[in-house]
A and B are shown apart, each in its own frame.
Chain A
Amino acid sequence: MSTLEIRDLHVAREGKEILKGVNLTVRGGEVHALMGPNGAGKSTLAATLAGHPGYQVTAGQVYLDGEDLLVMSPDERARRGLFLAMQYPTEVPGVRVAGFLRTALSAREGREIPVLEFRKLVADKLRALDMDESFLQRYVNDGFSGGEKKRHEMLQMMLLHPAIALLDETDSGLDIDALRVVTGVIRDLRGPDLGLLIITHYQRVLERLDPNYIHVMVDGRIVISGDHSLAAVLEEKGYGWVEEQYGPAAQAPASATTQGAGSHGA
């Protein structure tokens, strides 16, 4: 069972501070939902954890199973079991899905996966995602619809069996059927060996995935954490009251508030 510990994480992009002290612990078997208004820093947190070179960690620590994540290259993080399903997956023209996935799987497993073994592994996952095998011959994300890109991210998550997965608005841009497929896959993957941090704006996703904890990020910090009941409050009242209380205009409290039965922090 893996543990991801984020301690007082401060992150800047192009000199501007975006994360201003994030604390969060995600353990195997847990599902955390991260919510918050646009621009709060949710995607920055996900990208930073995955090692995106455009973000500079200015303070704080992140540990994956006790080891310093921040000194690892993006590929090393992935091989250790960290996975980021991107909000806007990058197009890589000329690189075919099949070759890319087999190379990624070989890297994760630390052995060369033979073509036949790969084909078998991928076939039932494609079926589960309601995808055709011809998908494998396309170039990575090139010309994919929004829904196809998200399914492709899920396909990778299924193949790479991460220990900690960060899902950055995987639900956005999906129609109802695709959303059902994707949330079904996430539910199937849920288990003691997988810790999930799901960034979302939608109550319907939370209903389907039933997270253990819900966190609200405002202005680069997690300001409220709680259980499922917090989602209902947010659905009803929006983020306005949270921003008023914890946003940049308000006096920032020394620590975040905890509502309900949930907890956050190490």
Chain B
Amino acid sequence: MALKLTGDLSERAWAISQSMDEPAWAKRERRVGRLVTGGLGLPSPKEEKWRRTDLGRLGLDLGQIKAPAPALLEPVAITGDDQVAWRLPTAVAADMPLCQAMCRLPEPEDLLEALHRALWSDGVLVDLPAGYESPAPLRIHLPTPLAYGSVFYILLVHAGEGSRGTIIIEDEDDSSDGPEGPRLSYTHVELKAAAGAAVNVLLQHRRQGLAYDFLRLRAHLQSDSALDFTAVAHAHPGVFRAGMEAVLGGPGASARARFLYTAGEKSVYPTHLDLGGTIWHQNVRTRSRLVMRGVLAGEARAVLRGFADVQKNAAGSEAYQHMQSLLLDRRARADSIPALKIDENDVKAGHATAAGPLDREQLFYLQSRGLDLATARRLMVAGFFAPVLADVPADLAALAQRALGLVAEEAIA
């Protein structure tokens, strides 16, 4: 029996819990989500963090989308060092202590978060021991939902003291034909980095057809640890929302996030992209840099949010935000909303935003050398991303470039 997301979730949540053989604490966590679904609605655009993204208006109808059925789900696939990564259902069933410590997610504030808590069915636990250096990137492949279907994932990453790791999250449709019918996915990434740890994360997101996809990454970084997060996304009809929230808790902690995006395939549905970076500087010498750069075509719209909160005791910290969108069509639109809150004097911070069409003089220059319009546009779009790609960590650069090459082609086709 297919349960709609707006229907009675108890049966489906229970079935998922049974299929995982969850211990009591995990069942309790799941119940928290289930209990609040009745009282919560879709995120409201009246809230600052959802301003300009009205899911109801953007066509998300939870009455059309089914809750995940364990028997129908393809498992998350992990490639890489199997000594440091486990499928989350296995880790939860084995009651690994780290799971319980990390699975305590924040109180659900809206219906999506509550559904995620009640219906999560798969995920990964990554535990990089102290001093560990990953020999190769760890790849996590997230199966995408079927038409009218949904998936809810949890990825837990613990980086021990002085460890070094690279994680690639593959969240892409395998075929080029999207299924007919809306889909929903929600992935929560919880990351904790101990002193001196360094974690690089690359998210590759690409969908075909109407889809509503959400990714929330929460990171807590201790002294001198570093998170480098790169998201390469081709936004599809529907909504793609991805956000990083980082707490720079220890002295010298740093977070870099770069979002590279394209959007604008032809569809009767609107394409809406919502990207965010929120960083709390809670200690001395903490650094954050948020870069959002993308190309929007057709009627695509992007909402780009940045918020850095440099707190009273965060002397010697740096916080920068850069948002730049290339608008290939008149009806494409980007809303950049950078924000800095600074309660400390000894701080370097700034933000810069820009959105506009391809430069006419640059186009003419390239064309005057024989490049046809499409080739000139392609070269300029690639050039627009080049400085940001050059900044991607070496072991991810080629991959990010390839992912971006694919999405850039789609954007300007």
CB-nearest residue of chain A relative to B383? A94
Task: Indicate if A151 sits at the interface (CB-CB under 8 A).
Answer: no
With contacts defined as CB atoms under 8 Å apart, how many contacts are there between chain A and chain B in the complex?
85
How distant is the Cα of A52 from the Cα of B360 in the complex, in angstroms?
Answer: 10
How distant is the Cα of A160 from the Cα of B371 in the complex, in angstroms?
Answer: 12
Interface readout for B361-372 with A: 1 if CB under 8 Å, 0 if not? 110111111111
How distant is the Cα of A107 from the Cα of B375 in the complex, in angstroms?
Answer: 10
By the criterion CB–CB under 8 Å, are B380 and A75 in contact?
no
Interface readout for B113-137 with A: 1 if CB under 8 Å, 0 if not? 0000000000000000000000000
Task: Indicate if A170 sits at the interface (CB-CB under 8 A).
Answer: no
**B412, chain A: closest CB distance, angstroms:** 14
Task: Indicate if B384 sits at the interface (CB-CB under 8 A).
Answer: yes
Partner of A107, one of B369, B380, B386: B369
Interface readout for A122-143 with B: 1 if CB under 8 Å, 0 if not? 0000000000000000011000
Partner of A95, one of B364, B370, B380: B380
Those of A91-130 within 8 Å (CB) of chain B? 91-96, 99-100, 103-104, 107-108
Task: Indicate if A184 sits at the interface (CB-CB under 8 A).
Answer: no
The interface size of chain A toward B, counting residues with CB under 8 Å, comes to 31
User: What are the 4 closest A-B residue pairs judged by CB atoms, nearest first?
Assistant: A94-B383, A107-B370, A95-B383, A78-B370
By the criterion CB–CB under 8 Å, are B362 and A92 in contact?
yes
Q: A51-B367, A92-B383, A94-B383 are in contact. Are A75 and B362 (CB under 8 A)?
A: no
| A contacts, CB < 8 Å to B | 50-54, 73-75, 77-79, 84, 86, 89-96, 99-100, 103-104, 107-108, 139-140, 156, 160
| B contacts, CB < 8 Å to A | 359-362, 364-373, 375-376, 379-380, 382-387
Most buried by A among B369, B371, B373: B369
How distant is the Cα of A75 from the Cα of B376 in the complex, in angstroms?
Answer: 10
Q: Which residues of B contact A78 (CB under 8 A)?
A: 367-370
Q: Which residues of B contact A94 (CB under 8 A)?
A: 380, 382-387
How distant is the Cα of A250 from the Cα of B82 in the complex, in angstroms?
Answer: 88
By the criterion CB–CB under 8 Å, are B368 and A75 in contact?
yes
**A137, chain B: closest CB distance, angstroms:** 11
**B377, chain A: closest CB distance, angstroms:** 11
How distant is the Cα of A95 from the Cα of B360 in the complex, in angstroms?
Answer: 15
By the criterion CB–CB under 8 Å, are A100 and B366 in contact?
yes
Q: Which residues of A contact B373 (CB under 8 A)?
A: 73, 75
CB-nearest residue of chain A relative to B365? A90
Most buried by A among B359, B367, B384: B367
By the criterion CB–CB under 8 Å, are A107 and B364 in contact?
no
By the criterion CB–CB under 8 Å, are B384 and A92 in contact?
no
**B389, chain A: closest CB distance, angstroms:** 9
By the criterion CB–CB under 8 Å, are A160 and B370 in contact?
yes
Q: Which residues of B contact A73 (CB under 8 A)?
A: 367, 372-373
Beyond A90-B359, A95-B380, 14 extra complex contacts between A and B, CB < 8 Å: A50-B364, A52-B364, A53-B364, A73-B372, A74-B367, A75-B368, A75-B370, A75-B371, A86-B368, A93-B383, A95-B383, A100-B366, A100-B379, A103-B375
